[in-house]
Structure 1
């Protein structure tokens, strides 16, 4: 146990561990650095002393014993976006709770080729597995060319024979949004889509199309842009929306821009046009009006991803796919179509 004195709690030193194990402090250092020329009985005695005295976190001691780093390398595509950022934070939290650390490498929105550099950097850190968050098609094409020998999991909505995958059902989330609008009597529903290189953007657009087709409705205006509020604002300010009575935005930032742009034109939300977003940002309930949106449970996604990563590290080699269902959150930005 940690030492105590008149000065209060004291963290044990390498010398305390050495005394407990009956070895020199240099031997303790060699054990901690994985030196091969250490008798197993000595190594076991040092590791036991490390555990008993809490000299280092128990996860590190276990890593020394198992020859694993207990570290997961994460490639995060578009780190400034809400979904990728929240997924990374959720994965980090879930990993900490089971004694794993996370090393992240961010790939800029305009340079998927950074993936090569990211993979090399993470592999040289000795990670046990790789995880790719919010991939674009271009980054996945590059990832397929990599041969790291490490278990790899990709956060994406569709199964992929190349990797373990886990994701939120993006297509169903879009269908929830569009079904809600159809149920309110809307018949001309526009979609402001994210960049089509992003797999999530593609899935949301397909869900919009499928739901309209099932209801026997024609597609409303379809405009592809980026993930920003400026995109939504620009469309709402400058485009002729014709008979559109509802807009499904590919994320909440776009929806925020749409509401602002419509307001500047004197078009009321939801009296004249209803608006639905996607993600359920923490501030979405404070938009004016509060935003109807589709919620992704990033905490559950992080835990599920970690479960798959650990299973892969422990030898589960056949690719698996797990899906989390999104949920529609109805607020005040949608209403029955006006007569």
Structure 2
């Protein structure tokens, strides 16, 4: 039987008519919101196949009151780590049949926060993920309605009932301990601005220096302009006490190496340099870069799965899962950019 009227695209009414059931029954079958007898299920399935019917995502959302979608709110959206997190969350969402969207918080003012949240919530997402990296993200986090399934990526432990954290502080400690273990005592740290939390790479560097009984030397903060890091490398090349640098990300590490080389300093013969994030180009650099591999894709996937558990419980009318803070561990990747200092005993 062709679609009713002159429509070329079948609608749910056509499926119901061909299957000999009511429209609400087809809707229940599609949404899984109530039991449908096996006989009716078979008839509906056959009608859908014969008509090549594609369920309307919006219509299903209206029946469920929320969309089969989730939104991730993030700042620093242009950074590689953010892209990897988004990719992990998106793939996990797709595997569950959910659409995944990203709303950037880059450049918004305090006055725009409420309107941004309202726009996101007006699409009726089933849940929200907030990736915390600055004060704006924290403000957004606290303005999401309490009954909305929510997962926080990053932040300080306990910032939200449901939270997935990278091992940032642990990674900073591990990198620094690697350099100290090679015999370096003056491990300089160079980093970009970090989130207002207690899980930062810089704090891990300080932890390792303190535990080794060494007063932490100066930490340098740089921006995303890599030329700034190159210039800092040129400056540090003239520090006679410098033997090792822990850079807070791989791009900064490689830029520092360029600045050191510009001044005739060799890596790792004169100065060891370690990065963070273990980007693909790190192992191809000359020399291959020692780095800390942070599993950002796994981080995003874990955040969605934690959110999905809340969504399923809410839709089934069950109690929410127990609050959880999950830490996604990384690992040290030792390569040729770090070695024992020349004067090591």
Q: Secondary structure at the match of 1:211?
A: helix
Number of positions where the alignment pairs a residue of Structure 1 with one of Structure 2:
319
- Asked whether the equivalents of residues 105 and 136 of structure 2 are also in contact (C-alpha less than 8 Å), the reply is no
Cα contact 2:267–2:337 (8 A) shared by 1: yes
* Structure 1 CA distance for aligned equivalents of residues 108 and 60 of structure 2: 40
Q: 1:60 to 1:138 in 2, by over 3 A?
A: closer
* Contact preservation (8 Å) 2:129, 2:304: no
2:339 aligned partner? 335
Unaligned runs of 5+ in 2: 1-7, 314-318
Contact preservation (8 Å) 1:63, 1:69: yes
Offset, 1:258: 0.7
Task: Tell me what 1:203 maps to.
Answer: 200
Instruction: For residue 94 of structure 1, report the CA deviation from its aligned partner.
Output: 0.9
Report if the CA contact (8 A) 1:189-1:221 is conserved. no
Match of 2:98 among 100, 114, 117: 100
Q: Could you tell me which residue of structure 1 aligns to residue 4 of structure 2?
A: none
TM-superposed CA distance for 1:55, in Å, is 3.1
* Structure 1 counterpart of 2:53, from 55, 61, 75: 55
Deviations 1:239-276 (A, max 9, x none): 45341111111111111211111111111111111111
Q: Distance in 1 between matches of 2:330 and 2:262?
A: 32
Q: Indicate which of 61, 78, 82 corresponds to 1:84.
A: 82
In 2, the alpha carbon distance for the partners of 1:76 and 1:48 equals 45
- The structure-2 alpha-carbon separation of the partners of 1:299 and 1:21, relative to structure 1 and needing over 3 Å to count, comes to same
In 2 relative to 1, CA 135–158 (structure 1 residues): closer, same or farther, beyond 3 Å? same
The answer to whether the 8 A contact 1:151-1:309 is kept is yes
- Give the Cα separation in 1 of the matches to 2:294 and 2:274: 14
Instruction: Give the secondary-structure state (helix, strand or coil) at the position aligned to 1:73.
Output: strand
Q: CA offset at residue 139 of structure 1?
A: 2.4
Q: 1:320 to 1:224 in 2, by over 3 A?
A: same
1:233 Cα deviation from its structure 2 partner = 1.3
**Residue 165 of structure 2: aligned partner:** 167
Structure 1 residue 112 displacement after superposition: 6.6
| Structure 2 residue 230 is the aligned partner of structure 1 residue 233 | yes
Structure 1 contact 134–156 (Cα < 8 Å) conserved: yes
Equivalent residues of 1:115, 1:139 under 8 A apart: no
- TM-score, structure 2 length as denominator? 0.80
Partner SS for 1:283: helix
- Sort the Cα spacing of 1:23 and 1:197 in 2 relative to 1 into closer, same or farther, 3 A: same
Change (3 A) 1:58 1:303: farther
What CA RMSD, in Å, does the superposition of the two structures yield over aligned residues? 3.5
CA distance in 2, matches of 1:82, 1:112: 25
Q: In the alignment, is the contact (CA less than 8 A) between 1:73 and 1:127 conserved in 2?
A: yes
Q: Helix, strand or coil for the counterpart of 1:121?
A: helix
Give me the TM-score of the superposition, normalised by structure 1: 0.81
Provide the C-alpha distance between the structure 2 equivalents of 1:141 and 1:234, rounded to a whole number of angstroms.
35
Q: Give 1:300 shift.
A: 1.8
CA contact (8 A) 2:60 2:67 kept: no
Residue of structure 2 equivalent to 1:125:
123
Check the 8 A contact 2:132/2:154 in 1, yes or no: yes
